[in-house]
């Protein structure tokens, strides 16, 4: 298969890096006892909250509501896999077997999503849960669920557009919307291609990344949030935002998704244009004049100073994790990327990490989900915790290789 030599090389490197911290003996960043206790507390609080709701479909938690209660969600929610993924990562970092049992418990209810063709977020839901579980356990049941998930995701690909449809809602606003976030779901397809030998998964993942590269980015390498396409001709109809300050602004988490997505795509393919794009996005983020000194961005890089400008810790955590992977592929910029990621992690540990028992068990506070919709503003959110833990795992792996 095309590029599979590169793929095998990159995957073997990542497996070496990943295996370096499975012993749970490294304690370089933050309090691992805090991580362990908070993750367990969140499970306890979820189970209590579940007994108090009349909803029968909730399977996990997403964030805190404005009144401090847990925001409970069903498996179809795009965030349903992150807490399970945090538990898998927590078990790696701490060596705690109870966390791994909880990871299994919170992964299992997501199985039905393997057939949910109404969402593009299959990678978020299934790779963060079943994908992490399969990497650690090699459970063939997990593998089968992931392959079916990838099959289901392929149904959203439009050959004329050369991309996967993102949302099915708001059809009065967009004909065929593609959001920068969708780059994150391609990892599931690359994984399925390696597992099955089916080139189709690889080809359409690459095509989506190429289409996004061609249309999502401005001259300064910031990205639009939403590109709307004509589903018949593939023509770009409009370039807009949904969660950013304006159509022309740089929504912070969107930039992080792009950085992470193109870094991952280079790892999986060896296509140099993907590496260059990741480096360009990193430069935009890290050199931006509106990036605070602690490198925890405001929710949008272009949000005016006169307005309320909450930070977005989730964007910082995603960026830190992506930079630690990008450092592996960019020797000339390696030290800069690692130092930048370390600054982010130090800032998170110092000023944004929950105290014991705080935030119902979430690890990090002060994320911003969707400021324009007044949804999840300045609260803990599960994907911030997930990418924070992933960044700690990756940082530990670098420390392991130095020894």
Active site residues: 121, 181
Residue 76: other Cβ atoms inside 10 A = 16
Question: Other C-beta atoms within 10 Å of 187: how many?
Answer: 21
262/278 Cα distance (integer angstroms): 5
CB crowding 329-360: b at 16 or more within 10 Å, else e: bbeebeeebbebbbbbbebbbeebbbeeeebb
Query: Beta 367-370 vs 375-379: how paired, if at all?
Result: antiparallel
State CA 397 to chain mean position distance: 19
H-run or E-run covering 70:
strand 70-74
Please state, in angstroms and rounded to a whole number, the distance separating the CA atoms of residues 136 and 13.
16
What is the DSSP secondary structure assignment for residue 331, as one 8-state letter? G
Phi, psi of 67 (to 5 degrees): -90, 5
CA 353 to chain centre: 19
Check: CB of residue 207 under 8 Å from CB of residue 201: no
């Amino acid at each position: 298969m095309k590029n599979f030599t590169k793929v095998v090389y990159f995957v073997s490197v990542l497996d070496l890096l990943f295996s370096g911290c499975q012993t749970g003996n490294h304690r370089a960043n933050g309090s691992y006892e805090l991580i362990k206790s908070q993750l367990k507390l969140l499970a306890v609080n979820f189970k209590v909250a579940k007994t108090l709701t009349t909803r029968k479909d909730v399977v996990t938690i997403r964030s805190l509501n404005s009144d401090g209660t847990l925001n409970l969600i069903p498996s179809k929610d795009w965030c349903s896999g992150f807490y399970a993924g945090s538990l898998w990562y927590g078990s790696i970092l701490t060596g705690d077997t109870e966390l791994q049992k909880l990871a299994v418990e919170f992964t299992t209810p997501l199985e039905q999503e393997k057939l949910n063709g109404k969402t593009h977020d299959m990678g978020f839901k299934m790779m963060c849960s079943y994908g992490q579980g399969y990497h650690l356990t090699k459970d063939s049941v997990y593998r089968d669920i992931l392959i079916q998930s990838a099959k289901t995701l392929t149904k959203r690909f439009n050959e004329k557009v050369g991309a996967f449809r993102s949302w099915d809602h708001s059809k009065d606003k967009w004909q065929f919307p593609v959001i920068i976030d969708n780059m994150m779901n391609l990892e599931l397809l690359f994984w399925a291609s390696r597992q099955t030998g089916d080139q189709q998964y690889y080809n359409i993942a690459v095509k989506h990344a190429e289409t996004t590269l061609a249309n999502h980015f401005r001259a300064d390498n910031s990205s639009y949030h939403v590109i709307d396409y004509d589903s018949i001709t593939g023509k770009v109809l409009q370039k807009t935002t949904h969660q950013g300050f304006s159509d022309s602004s740089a929504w912070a988490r969107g930039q992080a998704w792009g950085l992470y997505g193109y870094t991952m795509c280079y790892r999986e393919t060896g296509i140099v244009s993907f590496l260059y794009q990741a480096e360009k996005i990193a430069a935009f983020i890290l050199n931006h004049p509106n990036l605070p000194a602690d490198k925890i961005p405001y929710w949008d890089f272009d949000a005016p100073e006169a307005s309320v400008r909450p930070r977005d810790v989730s964007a910082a955590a995603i960026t830190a994790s992506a930079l630690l992977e990008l450092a592996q592929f960019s020797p000339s910029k390696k030290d800069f990327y690692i130092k930048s990621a370390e600054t982010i992690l130090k800032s998170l540990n110092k000023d944004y990490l929950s105290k014991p028992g705080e935030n119902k068990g979430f690890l990090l506070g002060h994320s911003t989900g969707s400021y324009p919709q007044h949804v999840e503003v300045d609260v803990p959110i599960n994907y911030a915790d997930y990418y924070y833990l992933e960044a700690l795992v990756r940082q530990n792996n670098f420390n392991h290789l130095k020894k």
